[in-house]
Amino acid sequence: MNILLIGNGGREHALAWKMQQSPLCTTLYVMPGNAGTAEIAQNVDIALNNFAGIAHFVLDKAIALVIVGPEEPLVKGLRDFFHQSEALKDIPFVGPARLGAQLEGSKDFSKSFMQKYRIPTASSRTFTLKTLHEGLQYVEKHTLPIVLKADGLAAGKGVIISQDVAHAKQTLREMLENKKFGEASDKVVIEQYLEGIELSVFVLTDGKTYRTLPTAKDYKRIGEGDTGLNTGGMGAVSPVPFADHAFMQKVTQRIIEPTIAGLKKEGIDYIGFLFIGLMNVHGEPYVIEYNVRMGDPETEAVIPRLKTDLVKLLHHAGTQTLHEIEIEEIPEFATTIVLVSGGYPEAFEKGFSIEGAGEVSDAIVFHAGTTQNIAGRTLTNGGRVMAITALGNTLAEALAKANAGAEKIQFEKKYYRRDIGKDLGEDRGLK
């Protein structure tokens, strides 16, 4: 079948890499893609907000499966657009409709959903400009640290953790009065701080049933030892050693099942990935956030651990027959190290030539922010440039291979964290 994958990050390169291995895949198109997807699929230069252009392309190329990588087209209603068209509505489409995408698009919506379905999460309240005064009082009575979140999409910058009442009040004012994050901070969720270790759980649902993918841990801070600014993610490890059977049973019973049941009960059209960001607080799971997509760079660690044919799996999701397929995992560790442009997540330069990817033999090189110039040279084109994934029987073996790969690739001002996975124990979690 012909497949359209939407997106241009390391996540999409990993999804494309796995889908290309399927005998069911005829032609794979990636829109817009990057220099890595160009090597294994056909990149398509159509803007993600050009829904009419996407529709035309899908019909023209007889696309039989659409997969949406990033959240933005979903929050903007790409699935709804497909559903409203006679010609497109029956094409299997993996990605929720606009209302379901609100689980990521609005923190207020997702908190209300969790409260309604009694899904464990930090206690919270939502305030607007009208209720600013109550918000300020709420901050005063709250324990510290306190977490302030812009309701809408804010490119990963909308969460502020404050240790100080005056600073938190000031931040609340900036968000509501001065529109610090534009419309995204028209509402602000104020919540309790959860102390623990984070992990990511991924679920694929067809709206009726669900399948759980391998767990992963992301490394969000730019600096070693989890210091410095937040990024999109600097590395990942899968599986997560502390997410053992007992912990995952709690996640399934208290979080995944009530979430899927709640979506059904609300009549929300949800076919797609659901990424549950969790905090493990002394062995008890709490939801930090939902995302309506796979994580990046977690995908680059999770997908290479699937034995299951990804096209078959996604087609079953898209045709609401997920009950007919199980997910099989490769029982090895996967570790991913992200190479970034020096300066990221603040200002950085682009356009540097990337060398050495061909010399990496024991790891998979996924492209993220890369492009090809007319001469066919691969150049840096974003903050996160490449994600290097390696598998191993032990965490140490996977890390050694991923680090060796990260070392071989060269571009000006390359930076990466050398401590990915070092905080995790060795063997637990695989049995």
Contact set with ligand AMP (CB under 6 A):
122, 147, 149, 159, 191, 193-194, 198, 220, 277, 288-289
State how far the Cα of 308 lies from the Cα of 429, in Å rounded to an integer: 20
Read off φ and ψ for residue 344, nearest 5 degrees: -55, 140
For residue 359, give Cα distances in angstroms to 89, 137, 356, 407: 45, 59, 5, 11
Smaller CB distance to ligand AMP: residue 179 or 220? 220
H or E segment at 415?
strand 414-415
- In whole angstroms, the minimum distance from the beta carbon of 291 to ligand GLY comes to 6
How many residues form the binding site for ligand GLY (CB under 6 A)?
7
Sort strands 333-341 and 378-380 into parallel, antiparallel or unpaired.
unpaired
Closest CA relative to residue 198, chosen from 217, 181, 214, 180: 217
Residue written as token pair 């005056």? 166
- The yes or no reply on residue 95 touching ligand GLY (CB under 6 A) is no
The site partner of 70 among ligand AMP, ligand GLY, none (C-beta below 5 to 8 Å per kind) is: none
Q: Could you say which residues in the range 291-310 bind ligand GLY, by CB under 6 A?
A: 291, 295-296, 298
Return the closest-CA partner of residue 343 out of 419, 229, 220.
229
Q: How far is the CB of 124 from ligand AMP (least distance, A)?
A: 8
For residues 200 to 239, the per-residue mask of contacts with ligand GLY, x marking binding by CB under 6 A and - elsewhere, is ------------------x-------------xx------
* Closer residue to ligand GLY (CB): 145 or 277: 277
C-alpha 276, offset from chain centre: 9
Distance from C-alpha of 431 to C-alpha of 235, rounded to nearest angstrom: 23
Closest to ligand AMP by CB, 193 or 415: 193
Q: Which is nearer to ligand AMP, 12 or 289 (CB)?
A: 289
12 contributes a contact to ligand GLY by CB under 6 A? no
At residue 2, the 3 state secondary structure works out as strand
Give the Cα-Cα-Cα angle 241, 220, 417 (nearest 5 degrees).
85
| The entry of ligand AMP, ligand GLY, none that residue 233 binds, CB within 5 to 8 Å by partner kind | ligand GLY
Place of tokens 């030892």: 225
The residue (of 147 and 213) whose beta carbon lies closer to ligand AMP is 147
Residue 32 interacts with, from ligand GLY, ligand AMP, none (CB under 5-8 Å by kind) = none
**Do residues 354 and 410 lie in contact, with contact meaning Cβ atoms separated by under 8 Å?**
yes
> In the bound complex, what is the minimum distance in angstroms from residue 286's beta carbon to ligand AMP?
8
- In terms of CB distance, is 176 or 194 closer to ligand AMP? 194
Judge contact between 204 and 306, C-beta under 8 A. no
Q: Is the Cβ of residue 147 or residue 237 nearer to ligand AMP in the bound state?
A: 147
- Out of ligand AMP, ligand GLY, none, which partner does residue 296 contact, by CB within 5 to 8 A per kind? ligand GLY
d(CA 111, CA 130): 20
Contact partner, 298, from ligand AMP, ligand GLY, none, Cβ < 5-8 Å per class: ligand GLY
Give Cα 49 to chain centroid, integer Å.
20
The entry of ligand AMP, ligand GLY, none that residue 193 binds, CB within 5 to 8 Å by partner kind = ligand AMP
Quick check: 303 and 389 in contact, CB under 8 A? no
CB of 69 or CB of 158, closer to ligand AMP: 158
Residues 236, 332 contacting (CB under 8 angstroms): no
Taking the complex as a whole, the smallest distance from the CB of residue 410 to ligand GLY amounts, in Å, to: 25
- Residue 147 interacting entry, from ligand AMP, ligand GLY, none, C-beta within 5 to 8 Å by type: ligand AMP
CA angle 61, 67, 69 (to 5 degrees): 125
Q: Summarize as ranges the residues that interact with ligand GLY (CB under 6 A).
A: 218, 232-233, 291, 295-296, 298
